[in-house]
Structure 1
C-alpha cells in the first residue's frame, strides 16, 4: 500500500522525478519584466506549470501580477499563495549560445514568466529538474491557492462556456495514446497539458492553447476532446 499523502506538496513531490534541461551557464535577464504576451513553455517538460500559468493568464492575469513585486536591486519578491515571500534573482538558464532555455513571455524575453517558473521550482523542490512531471491540479493550486476540481469525464461545450463566463481557469491533459487522436491541427501530443479558453455550445468544439505555442488557437471537436484528453481541471471563480 502506498503511504498516505498528507499534504498537496508532499503528493506533488511523490510524483516528480529529477532530470530535465541542463543549462551551460546562467545569464541575467534584462528584458522588461511585464512585456505584453502570453506565457510560453521552454525546453523543460513542465507543461503542468506552464499550462496552468497560461490558463490563469487567460482568465485573471491580475492574479499573476499580484504574486510578483520588483525590488530596487532588480530582484523580484514572489509570494505564492500560502507560502512565505521568496526573493528571486533574474539569472536564468541559457544554452552555449546564450539563449534562454526555459519559460518566457511569448515574443519577448523570460520576464515575469521566467521569474515565476524559477520561484515555483525553488518553492516546490529546490530545482528545475523536479518540475519535469506533475499534475495540472497542482499547478493551478500553486498559482491560485485554491483547490480546484479534477474531472475524468470531459465536460460538454456548454459547461465549459459557463465556467469561462464565471472566470474559472481550466486545463485539459492528454494521455499516452493521444497521438492516435486526429484533429484538424494534427495529432495531439502525449502526456501534455493545454489551457482551455472557450467552447462553442452550438458545434461542441473546444478551444485550447498549447503552452509551447500559446499564440495559436486550437479547435477540437467534441468527440476528439473526449477521446484525446484524460482529465480536465477547473478552479473556483478567480474574479
Structure 2
C-alpha cells in the first residue's frame, strides 16, 4: 500500500542497458521532464521534528460547499468548543461539537477544520484529556476513536494533516530514543517498482513470492522492538492472505484505516498517512526498502494504527505477548501448544492445515545489555524475540521459524529450521489462533 507512484524510470533504466542507445534515451527524457533521483529526494515531504503540511489533490464527494452554512455551523461549534468544561462537562461539549459537524458534507467540514486552524484543533484535542472525578478520561475512548476516525476519513488530505499536527490525540507519539535531532515525519511516495508481477527494490533486487498487494513477505521490522506484533501480522497473513485486504484500507483522502478487535468486537483506527522518519529512512516497519520514495508502506500503517490503539509507539516498541497481538488482529483468543509433547511437529502441521496462525518466542536473554539481541542456536536465532511458524517438515521432524527482520530481497534471515529437540531447548512458547 503506497501512493501509486509509477516508478517508470527505474523500470526503463533496468531495461536500458539491454537496448542500443537506451541510456541516452532515458537521459534525454529525464532532461525534458526534469526528473532525477535528486529531484525526487528533494521533494520528499519530510518535516524534521514535526508533521508535514502540504496541499494534495482532492475531489470531495457530495454537493458543492455552501460557504454560509459552513461558516454558521463552524461558528456555532466553535462557541461550544470554547465553553466552560467545568460547567458543562468535556464529554457533553465533545458530543455537541460532533453532533453539529457530522451532518456537514465533506467539503464544508473541511472548510471548518481549516478555518479553526491550530487554536480550534488544539482546544478540541485538550477536551479529550479532561478527567472525571475518578481520574478517568471524561470522554469514552471508543466514542473518541469513532469521532476522530470519521473526521480523518472525511476531510481533505490537507485537513487530515492539520488534524494530525494540532490534535495529538489523533496520532501516536513517536519517541525515537535518539538524540541525533534528525527525526520527524514523512509522507512516503511509494510503492517500489513492480515488473512482470514481481516487486523490485530500489537496488534492483527481485523480491520472490511477493506479488500480492499485501503479502507476509513484505514485512521488515525496522528500528522498533515490536516483533511480537509484526511477526503476528506475518503469521496471520500467511495463514489467511485475505485478512489484510479486509482489515486495512486506503481511504479516498489518503488516510489509512485498520480494523482491530477490542474485547472481541471490531474497532476501526484511522491514521494520518505520514510515518516516523529519521537518518534518511522510514524508522519503523516497512516493506522491502526503507527509502520513502519506493517503500511498500502497508506494514508501516498497520504498525502506526496499532501504536494509536495502544496509545503511542513506545507502548508497542518494548515487547509484548504474541497472544495479545493475535487477539488484536483476529478477535480470537490464542491457544497454547505443549512444547514437551512428542507430537508437536504433527500438531503444528495440523493447525497450519486448518488455517491457524502460529507464533513462537525465544527465552529472554539473561545477561544481554538493553537493546542487545543475544544470538543463540549458532547465530540462527536471538533471545527474547518472536518468530512466526513459516513451514513444517513432518517427515523430518522439524519446524521452520520466520523472522520479521527483513533482508532486502534475499531474506536470509527469514528461515531457521529447528528439530524437535531444539524446539524444546530454544523456544519458551508457541501461540496459535484461527484466522478464518
What's the TM-score once normalised by structure 1's chain length? 0.82
Counterpart of 1:102 in structure 2 is: 284
Counterpart of 2:350 in structure 1 is: 162
> Matches of 1:84 and 1:181 in 2, distance apart?
39
Of 262, 286, 304, 1:118 maps to 304
| Structure 1 segment 44-59 matched on structure 2, within 5 A | 44-59=224-239
Aligned CA distance change for structure 1 residues 187 and 112 (closer, same or farther; 3 Å): closer
Contact conserved, 1:39 with 1:54, CA < 8 A, in 2?
yes
User: How far is 1:72 from its partner?
Assistant: 1.4
Counterpart of 1:129 in structure 2 is: 314
Answer 1 or 2: higher relative contact order, Cα 8 Å, separation at least 6: 1
Larger Rg: 2
Alignment of 1:205 with 2:398, yes or no, is yes
Alignment of 1:190 with 2:383, yes or no, is yes
Alignment of 1:88 with 2:271, yes or no, is yes
Contact conserved, 1:35 with 1:111, CA < 8 A, in 2?
no
Alignment of 1:230 with 2:428, yes or no, is yes
Greater alpha carbon shift after TM alignment, 171-180 vs 74-83? 171-180
Aligned CA distance change for structure 1 residues 129 and 201 (closer, same or farther; 3 Å): same
Flag structure 2 segments of 5+ consecutive residues without an equivalent: 1-173, 193-212, 367-373
User: How far is 1:197 from its partner?
Assistant: 1.9
> Matches of 2:214 and 2:353 in 1, distance apart?
26
Identify the structure with the greater strand proportion.
1
User: How far is 1:87 from its partner?
Assistant: 1.5
Aligned CA distance change for structure 1 residues 226 and 180 (closer, same or farther; 3 Å): farther
> Matches of 1:180 and 1:152 in 2, distance apart?
24
SS in 1 for 2:336: strand
> Matches of 1:205 and 1:232 in 2, distance apart?
14
Query: Deviations along 1:183-238, whole A, 9 cap, x unmatched?
Result: 5xx242011000002211222111111001373322112211111000000002x2
> Matches of 1:141 and 1:38 in 2, distance apart?
22
Contact conserved, 2:221 with 2:230, CA < 8 A, in 1?
yes
User: How far is 1:93 from its partner?
Assistant: 0.7
Structure 1 segments (4+ residues) deviating >6 Å:
none
Of 331, 334, 340, 1:145 maps to 331
User: How far is 1:35 from its partner?
Assistant: 6.0
SS in 2 for 1:66: helix
Contact conserved, 1:41 with 1:212, CA < 8 A, in 2?
yes
Aligned length: 217
User: How far is 1:90 from its partner?
Assistant: 1.5
What's the TM-score once normalised by structure 2's chain length? 0.46
Cα-Cα RMSD: 2.4
Query: Deviations along 1:131-152, whole A, 9 cap, x unmatched?
Result: 1220000111111111111235
Query: Deviations along 1:91-132, whole A, 9 cap, x unmatched?
Result: 1111132x10111123562511111110011112x1101112
Identify the structure with the greater helix proportion.
2
